[in-house]
Structure 1
Amino acid sequence: MTAGITSSLHPADPAGPVTQSARVRLFRWEMPWWAGVLGVYAASRVLTTLLMLALYLVAGAMHWEGGSPQTHPTFLGFAGTWDASYYWRIVEHGYPSTLPVDSDGDVQQNEWAFLPLYPLIVRALMTATGLGFPAAGVLVAVLCGAAASLVLYRVVASRVGSVSGLWAAVFFCFGPLSFVLQIAYAESLFFLLLFAALLAMMTRRYWTVIPFGVAAAFTRPGELALPLALGIVFLIRALRARRGGEPFGAHERAAMIVAGAATAVAGLAWPLIAATVTGTPGAYVETELSWWTGFIGRVAFVPLTPWFLFTWRYASVAGALLVVAAIGGYVWLLNRPSIRALGTEVVAYAASYALYLFAVFLPQQSLFRLLMPLAPLAGAPGLTGNRRARTIVLTVGIALQPAALVLLWFVGYP
């Protein structure tokens, strides 16, 4: 399968910005770009489904105990564990008005860590179709994953051509953590909304950024990268205009300012909502910190410190130096000509999202899943134009899928 995909993706049009009528060649068939992307997505979902089904059957036969309790021992229930169980509770019971606490008075893990748009959509589908949560949750995730792949293609292809766009979609769909595109998690919806907002930014439809950005703010944490990216692009465009470059009129400036303000307010709204409903200031932050205790104990939240807290806990000075090296390496990566070819907006978005993760997230096994919104970077021509490099990336991605499934279902958690 790897060899077939690797040797059969070829451009049907020259390199450069893609057009609406762009066509790609998948195996022996030339087709519209959207059909090629959906074909890649379908193939990837078949592969991941087979891997998950094999693991589910082997685990049942061997009586393996999963990391998450299987209250519904079916294959769909297998795809509806961990975070999905919280979404299930939200669908059925909403959010608690009182935060659960332990004997020491510390807030315990609860539903306020999970934002409401995905469970609202799943609940609407359940009401309309009569499906149970596992089936409805997986269906929403799969459909949003397909749409996210299409938008990702457009994001990359609009700057560096259809070949890079298609390969970015391939890496996204066949990556080690791509199983999140078909389990009852909010990730697929979040990817769709983020990529759509980014595409709107790239096409300078700044008013269109607002609905996608606001919706993303109530889907998963991380939406605050959008207003920061808008601010960066605003400053760059203003500087270029002052130097006599491309025009940057008052209407565009106003649209960017309003879009930035609206998405920033939306990104900060959920903690205020949680505090208002529960009557507990800091309810959301305290809830998020409850997931940290198993790694570094109970700590106060200070922005820009989580990575250092985690690495110092396990590797002392060497850990702190590793964080500094990682920051330097990422800055170097964003300044590579191949990455910069993706455009100012993509680089600003990638820098902003990485800064968000560094500022508020404790790095642990979920980090790899949370890096998936950086998928546009995988469309860099330096990677997609190198046959050997893309073959290695694709092969490694597929090979790591079963390892990730085993580790995250039976050792850790996804």
Structure 2
Amino acid sequence: MADGVLTSGVLTSGVRHWVRLPVVGRIAIVYGLARLVTTGFLILAAQVSSPASRFGQAPSLRDFVLGWDAQWYWWVAVNGYPSSLPLTDTGGVGENAWAFMPAYAYLSQWVGVGDWATGAMLVSLVAGFLACLMLHRLLRRRIGSTAAMWAVAFFASGPLAALFQVGYAEVLFVLLLLVALDLVAVRRYWPLYIVLPLMGFTRPGILAFSLFLALHGIVRWVRRDREPLPVRQIVHIIALGLLSAVIGFSWQVIAALVTGDHSAYLKTELAWRRNWLPDASADFFPFEGFVRGAEFWMSQAGLPAWSGWVVLAALVAVAAWMLLRGRAVRRLGSDIRLWSASYLLYLLAVFFPQSSTLRLLMPLTPLWGALAVPRSRGWRWGMLGLCLLAQWLWILSMYGIAETFWQVP
């Protein structure tokens, strides 16, 4: 009896001290603990890595920082972009640096003072912490501070948590995205003229933000009787939507001007698709990637191609229902739902679904809030446990085993 009272008192005191901490302090603790766990997982992955792995036997954490696409960002920082596109033995355009935007690459080189791996790790770590702060700020007005803190815990400990510590641009892009969504939410449009160009040259996805701004403007217009829509805000929304579109296509123009090939960027992106589909079209067609991908993965399972269309249609229907009718998602507000719909449509239009698809879903980070809305304590702790389990399995596959065609992050 006395032990139970003592334990209850200690827990109550701990909760009281936790609540008294400033939000920044609580997020720092959550983020720091999450990074310790991820570091432990990466060390374990290094222990199980074999000579058959991409990383060889007993790789270092630095090897992981520089692994996979991080090598391309390092190459951009050190060597820049090619003035002529490399060709494969069959005459097609080969993989090259034009698929990777410059902002993260050069920022990491600057932060690391020439030591790109150290700079990349620092940029990802700091951007991740700032992204957690912005996620809490974005969500707390919608689902409350406690639920927003749980969303931060899910984000910091989720399946893709290794990206907070390796040389990938996703976390920096998510930080800029959360800043942009928060600015839209509070109707402060003018700073977006700075944020959007940074987003656009960090990672592909700015075209989805252009679509989001168009949908946001339509919703604001429909609701103008409930929320005033001044002319200056209309001008900002239209101008920023056009700016996002211009930025989204500008990289293609830059690649064309440097290489002399008007399709240099698209041909470069399609070079990766041919690793999966040797007979892939030499030209880009919207939505073809996901259709061919659905057929490909069903064929890998020994099923007919049409079953892939059924699965793809079902996934689209489920995603649409969740964004339109899902009660927990609706709690997040129209802007987060519109962004999520815009980005998912963008993915359907331009990407081929493969082992990197989970990573490509990271810009949907605000949806963690739907899993953190007021629920039982058991649900939240159980969800955190699933996040950690999924994180370990992802790290084990992509950085520990890393020896089959689908183990590419």
Report the TM-score when normalising by structure 2: 0.89
Q: Cα RMSD over matched residues?
A: 2.2
Measure the CA separation in 1 of the matches of 2:15 and 2:322: 30
Which contiguous aligned blocks of 4+ residues in structure 1 show a shift greater than 4 angstroms?
A: 24-29, 381-384
Q: Aligned to 1:322, which of 303, 308, 311?
A: 311
Q: 1:252-290: per-residue Cα shift (whole Å, max 9, x none)?
A: 111111111112211111111111111111111111111
1:277 aligns with 2:258: yes
Deviates more, 1:260-269 or 1:324-333: 260-269
- The answer for the alignment partner of 2:37 in structure 1 is 47
The aligned counterpart of 1:217 is 200
- Please tell me the residue identity of whatever aligns with 1:85: Q
| Alignment pair present for 1:154 and 2:137 | yes
Deviations 1:292-325 (A, max 9, x none): 1122223232112211111113321111111100
Q: Give the deviation of 1:126 after TM superposition.
A: 2.9
CA offsets, 1:61-90, max 9 Å, x none?
xx43322579x9532122211101111111
- Which of 55, 75, 83 does residue 89 from structure 1 map onto? 75
User: Residue 13 of structure 1 aligns with which residue?
Assistant: none
Shift of 1:337: 2.6
Conservation of the 8 A alpha-carbon contact between 2:148 and 2:372:
no
Distance 1:40 1:265, change over 3 A: same
Match in the other structure for 2:54: 67
Per-residue Cα deviation, 1:367-387 (whole angstroms, up to 9, x for no partner): 111111111112127745343
Question: How far off is 1:29 after superposition?
Answer: 5.5
Is residue 189–residue 219 contact of structure 1 (8 Å, CA) maintained in 2?
yes
1:205-246 CA-to-partner distances (Å, cap 9, x unmatched) read 1112222121111001112121211111111111122xx322
Measured in 2, the distance between the counterparts of 1:383 and 1:303 equals 36
SS at match of 1:389: helix
User: Hey, what's the Cα distance between the residues in 2 that align with 1:197 and 1:26?
Assistant: 34
Contact 1:383 1:389 in 2 (8 A): no
Opposite residue 51 of structure 2, the aligned amino acid is: W
Kindly indicate whether residue 154 of structure 2 is the aligned counterpart of residue 164 of structure 1.
no
- For 1:124 and 1:134, locate their aligned partners in 2 and report how far apart those are by CA, in whole Å: 11
The answer (yes or no) to whether the contact 1:68–1:82 under 8 Å persists in 2 is no
Determine what percentage of the aligned residue pairs are the same residue: 34
Correspondence for 2:331: 341
Distance 2:346 2:15 in 1: 37
Distance in 2 (CA, whole Å) between partners of 1:79 and 1:249 is 47
* Alpha-carbon distance change, 183 to 248 in structure 1, aligned in 2, over 3 angstroms: same
Q: 1:350 to 1:101 in 2, by over 3 A?
A: same
Report SS of the residue matched to 2:272.
coil
Given the superposition, is the C-alpha separation of residues 276 and 390 from structure 1 closer, same or farther in structure 2, using an over 3 Å criterion?
Answer: same
Aligned to 1:5: none
CA distance in 1, matches of 2:132, 2:25: 11
The one-letter amino acid of 1:271's match is Q
Paired position in structure 2 for 1:20? none
- After TM superposition, give the deviation of residue 27 of structure 1 in Å: 8.0
Counterpart residue number, 1:115: 101
Residue correspondence of structure 1 range 242-261 to structure 2 within 5 A: 244-261=225-242
Partners of 1:69 and 1:113 in 2: how far apart? Answer: 26
CA drift of 1:28 comes to 4.6
For the 8 Å contact 2:55–2:63, the answer to whether it is kept is: no
CA distance in 1, matches of 2:227, 2:43: 54
Deviation at 1:196, TM superposition (A): 0.6
Tell me the equivalent position of 1:306. 289
**Which residue in 2 is equivalent to 1:413?**
408
The offset of 1:50, in angstroms, is 1.0
**Secondary structure of the structure 2 residue equivalent to 1:291:** helix
Task: State how far apart, in whole Å, the 2-side matches of 1:313 and 1:380 are.
Answer: 32
Q: With structure 1 as the length reference, what TM-score do the two structures score?
A: 0.88
Structure 2 residue aligned with 1:142: 125
Q: Once the two structures are superposed, what CA deviation does each residue of 1:328-355 show, in whole Å capped at 9, x if it has no partner?
A: 0001101223212211111111111111
Aligned residues of 2:18 and 2:26 also touching (Cα < 8 A): no
Query: In the alignment, is residue 125 of structure 1 matched against residue 115 of structure 2?
Result: no
Quick one: structure 1 residues 69 and 84, their matched pair in 2 at CA, closer, same or farther if it must change by over 3 Å?
farther
Question: What secondary structure does 2:127 align onto?
Answer: helix
Match of 2:393 in 1: 403
Shift in alpha-carbon separation, 1:29–1:68, aligned structure 2, 3 A: same
Say if 1:198 and 1:209, in contact at 8 Å, map to a contact too.
no
Q: Which of 310-319 and 186-195 deviates more?
A: 310-319
Q: Is the 8 A contact 1:334 1:340 kept in 2?
A: yes
